[in-house]
Amino acid sequence: MLKRLILALALTLPLPALAVEPAEMLDDPAQEARAREVSKELRCLVCRNENIDDSNASLAKELRLLVRDRITEGDSNEEVIEYVVDRYGEYVLLKPTVTGSNLLLYIAGPAMLLIGFIVAMVYIRGRSRRTDVAADGLSPEEEARLKEIMGGK
């Protein structure tokens, strides 16, 4: 009884879709490959951090179809992305544009690496210069410690 109820319930539920479905694919393999490539750069707006190529959401499907439409119309990959951004805003881009404040995002990593590198070089130079001093003899503390160990003789 309970099982039948569950079964009945289950059949009314939507079944998971398969993201890119066979029916929506383009016949020309080269164009389809381009569509897949473009899709991986675009965010599914209603999903959490998923691109439209991987998403099962219906809005993602609409966007996939839109991308394929533009490609068959003869747009280049960049033109397709521009077209989508014009309509949905830069939120759809998974890789933000390198403009304005976003420059900070792109520069932060390399700048930090450079700073780290400079600081490290200064530190290591400081350490290595001491090598020459230390090679000549013991530091005063080491002398004192040695004396202590040797029994102050």
Partner 1 sequence: MFIELGHFALTLAFAVSLVQMVIPLIGAHKGWSGWMAMAEPAAIAQFLLTGLSFAALTYAFVTSDFSLRIVTANSHTLKPMLYKVSGVWGNHEGSMLLWVLIVTLFGAMAALFGGGLPPSLRARVLAVQSAIGAAFFAFILFTSNPFERLAMPPFDGRDLNPLLQDPGLAFHPPFLYLGYVGLSICFSFAVAALIEGRVDAAWGRWVRPWTLAAWICLTIGIALGSWWAYYELGWGGFWFWDPVENASFMPWLIAAALLHSAIVVEKRESLKSWTILLAIVAFGFSLIGAFITRSGIITSVHAFATDPTRGVFLLLILGVFMGGALTLFAARANAMEAKGVFGLVSRESALVFNNILLAVSAFVVFIGTIWPLVAEMAFDRKLSVGAPFFNMAFTPFMVILGIILPLGAIMPWKRARLGRAVRYLLPAMILAVALGALTWAMQTGRSALGPVGIALGTWLVSGAAMDLWMRAGRGAAGAKLARIARLPRADWGKAVAHSGLGITMIGIAGMMAWQQEDIRVAQIGERFEVGEYGILLDKVERVEGPNYLSTTATVTVWQADEQVATMYPEKRVYPVAAMPTTEAALDNGVLRDVYIAIGDPQDGGGWAIRTYIKPFANWIWAGALIMALGGLLSLSDRRVRVAAGARKERAAAPMPAE
- Write out the residues near partner 1 by the rule CB under 8 A: 3, 6-7, 9-10, 13-23, 25, 40-41, 43, 48-51, 54, 89-96, 100-102, 105-106, 108-109, 112-113, 116-117, 120, 123-125, 127-128, 130-131, 134, 151
Distances (CA, A) of 66 to 3, 29, 35, 84, 118: 42, 17, 10, 8, 49
Maximum Cα interatomic distance, the chain, rounded to a whole number of Å? 98
Residue placing its CB nearer to partner 1 in the complex, 120 or 144:
120
Complex with partner 1: residue 74 or 153, whichever CB lies closer: 153
Cβ proximity of 16 and 56 under 8 Å: yes
CB of 69 to partner 1, least distance (A): 19
Measured from the CB atom, the residue of 15 and 74 that comes closer to partner 1 is 15
Task: Say if CB 27 and CB 35 are below 8 A apart.
Answer: no
Q: Nearest distance from residue 65's CB to partner 1, in Å?
A: 15
Beta-carbon contacts of residue 35 (< 8 Å; ≥ 6 apart):
26, 64, 67, 68, 71
Which residues are CB-contacts of 146 (< 8 A; sequence separation ≥ 6)? 138
**Closer CB to partner 1, 22 or 140, in the complex:** 22
- Shortest Cβ 73–partner 1 spacing (Å): 23
Q: Cβ closer to partner 1: 74 or 83?
A: 83
* Nearest approach, Cβ of residue 23 and partner 1 (Å): 8
